[in-house]
Structure 1
Amino acid sequence: MHIDIISVVPGLLEGPFSHSILKRAEDKGIAKIQLHNLRDFATGKQKQVDDYAFGGGAGMVMMIEPIARCIESLQEKRTYDEIIYMTPDGKRFDQPMANALSLQQNLLILCGHYKGVDERVRERYITKEISIGDYVLSGGELAAAVVADAVIRLIPGVLNDETSALTDSFQDDLLAPPVYTRPAEYEGMNVPEVLLSGHEAKINEWRFEASVRRTKERRPDLMEKSPTKGSDNQ
């Protein structure tokens, strides 16, 4: 997978992509992330990428010209499966969307900034608009890092244990069950005996029931989508 990210402040993304799973994926040659400074595609001494909004109002708007030059320059190098714009009014990012994007080969992510981008950018270039939640950040950089991390960790070969991602929360519209490690007893608190039994079927049953119980308690909204809805186990 190749992910290109366009940003006004690409330095914000250097840290997240230089460590942990994302760095491992790049070292293995499984995924590559390239950051592109939008100011490199601006003209004039000031390298201006924003201007006042027509009609007035507070805040600046990202101009279409440098964005168009940047996107079209990148399109000369590769064909993108999706050109994504990170914006608060995009579709809410979730695990099914991450799963779908992980099957793609080339993604381009445009990070919003200021009051957003000239609407004509969205009309001409953007194929998917994504939000990571109902709140506003200073820019789309951190949101882009969230999307890249969630997507890349799903690619086969990135995680040491290939089954790990399949048992994450939200993969089956359930939260993950509680997990424990050594010691088996700590200050009177004990690990559930079934997890120490070595009986795989009973352990799997306990984990499923614990997932359902935790989801009902913490995210009852997910139960409406869960395959367990309407079952006797509820």
Structure 2
Amino acid sequence: MAAYTGARRGELLNLRWTDVDLDKPQIHITGTAAVIDRQRVEGITKSGRSRVVSLDPSTVRALKAHRARQDEERLRLGESWKGGGAYVFTTGWGDPLFPDTPSSLMPKLIETHNKQNPRAQLPHARLHDLRHIHATTLLLAGVPVHVVAARLGHADPAITLRVYAHVIHEQAATAADVFAAALETQRRVEHLQLSEPCSIVTAHGNHDATRAKTLLAEVRLRALLLLRYQARTTRA
């Protein structure tokens, strides 16, 4: 969940099943959990706002399986179960988790994986690093900054730009190549339109003029966005 939603640790530990809609599918993040004076406390999110985060099919399947296991455990324990089934992530007896619990579990899981898979070692990582991986992956894939900011719960996209400036700079470094590729694609499409008015052969081997024009528009837009990010970061 941390890797596939970009949610903060406390936000996930505050999540109730009533906040989860597996049909739409999405989760509604309304608050966070923390520890103050060794006591677990709950409050508003860091930005002070709630938000809705969409879920992918694999995360939906994982949540369904997790809920089934949790229901089985609750039935098995009977009156010994303490949580009442409200929280998504709990201890083995139903209590909501303390934030330090999943954080301390992360290095143990990586260590276990590395012992079992010596040829596929994972680097050291914190739980919070999964949030950064989520954001970085989306930005490198060309997802607009304001969309990434909304998923992360940043109050202003400027925060996302500042925190992930290195990713934006990597994109800006390729802006010239993207722009040149866009113009070259346009030249080839126009040539094909002249030679084959009724059929354009795209890079995927499809005879679909509409698809070719859509791909060209996407390339143009990405080039424009990268150039704008480069200009913005240069001024900053």
TM-score (norm 2): 0.27
TM-score (norm 1): 0.27
Q: Name the structure where helix makes up a greater proportion of residues.
A: 2
Q: Name the structure where strand makes up a greater proportion of residues.
A: 1
RCO comparison, higher one (Cα < 8 Å, 6+): 1
Who wins on radius of gyration, i.e. which is larger? 2
